[in-house]
Amino acid sequence: MQHIFKFFHQRNVEHDENTGERISNTLFLGFFSSEEKCKELIPNYIKQPGFKDYPDDFIIEKEEADVDDFNDIAGNFDSMVFYLYHEWYDGKYDNITDLGCYSTRELAEKAMENYRNKDPMFTEKPDDFLIDEFIIDKDVCWEDGFYTWEEIDQYDKENNIAQGEEYKKSLFDKE
C-alpha cells in the first residue's frame, strides 16, 4: 500500500504569550490501513479518561510511504511503518516535527541524515531525531486514556502526595 492513515488526538492547551502560537497536546494513537479503521476506534477512546472530555479532537491524516522534503516518489508499506520525527525540549514544551513515514528503517535513516545535514532547521539539534517502528493496524497507543496536569495535581492534593519544592527537598534531604 502506498499510503496509510496516521491517527492522533490533538487538543489546544494554551497560546504562547510571546508569539500567539497555539500550543497543543498531541497524543499519537497509531497507523492504520484505512480511515475507517481509525474511525472504528473513536467510540472506545471517548469512553476513556481524558478523551471523553475532548471527543471532537481526533485527527486522521493520510501519509504516503517514503515521501518527504527530499523525495517525492512514493514507496509501498508492507506491515510496518518507520515514523521519523524530531523532538526537543525548550524548557517548557516538547517541540515535535513530523518528518515522514517510511517503509523501511534504512529509508528512514537516510531521510534522517538528509534532514540532519541539509535542513538548517535541524542543524542546532542534530541528535534529537527519533525513528519509531509500528505495526500497521496493530500497534494502538493510549487505549486507557490520559489525565491532564490539572487532574494529576488535584489527585496529588487529595491524596497528600508531596509536590513542588517540598517534594524535591524531601528527595534530596534524606539522612
**What digits encode the pLDDT tens for the residues 27-83?**
999 999 999 999 999 999 999 999 999 999 999 999 999 999 988 889 999 999 999
Domain match, 163 and 118 both: no
Domain match, 106 and 129 both: yes
Rounded to whole angstroms, how far apart are CA atoms 21 and 1? 36
Domains in the chain, number = 2
Q: How many residues does the chain have?
A: 175
Q: What is the pLDDT of residue 138?
A: 96
Q: Which three cell numbers stand for residue 33?
A: 490501513
Q: How many CB atoms lie within 10 A of CB 117?
A: 10
Domain match, 161 and 139 both: no
Domain match, 72 and 130 both: yes
CA angle 108–111–115, rounded 5-degree value? 135
Q: What pLDDT band is residue 15 in, cutting at 50, 70 and 90? A: confident
Question: What does the DSSP 8-state code read for residue 37?
Answer: H
Domain match, 52 and 106 both: yes
C-alpha closest to that of 108 among 131, 77, 135, 78: 131
Rounded to whole angstroms, how far apart are CA atoms 81 and 95? 22
Domain match, 53 and 66 both: yes
Domain match, 66 and 89 both: yes
Q: What pLDDT band is residue 174 in, cutting at 50, 70 and 90? A: very low
Domain match, 158 and 119 both: no
- Beta carbons within 8 Å of 34's beta carbon, 6+ residues apart: 5
Least confidently predicted of 18-27, 118-127, 159-168: 159-168
Which contiguous run of DSSP H or E holds residue 168?
A: helix 164-172
Looking at 8-163, list the stretches that DSSP marks H as alpha helix, in order from N- to C-terminal side.
Answer: 35-45, 105-118, 149-158
Rounded to whole angstroms, how far apart are CA atoms 61 and 6? 5
Q: Which of 35 and 13 is assigned the larger pLDDT?
A: 35
Full residue range of the structural domain in which residue 153 is found: 147-175
Domain match, 25 and 73 both: yes
pTM to 2 decimal places: 0.80
Q: What is the pLDDT of residue 161?
A: 74
Domain match, 104 and 166 both: no
Domain match, 90 and 165 both: no
Q: Which of 28 and 93 is assigned the larger pLDDT?
A: 28
Domain match, 139 and 81 both: yes
Strand partners, 83: 101, 132
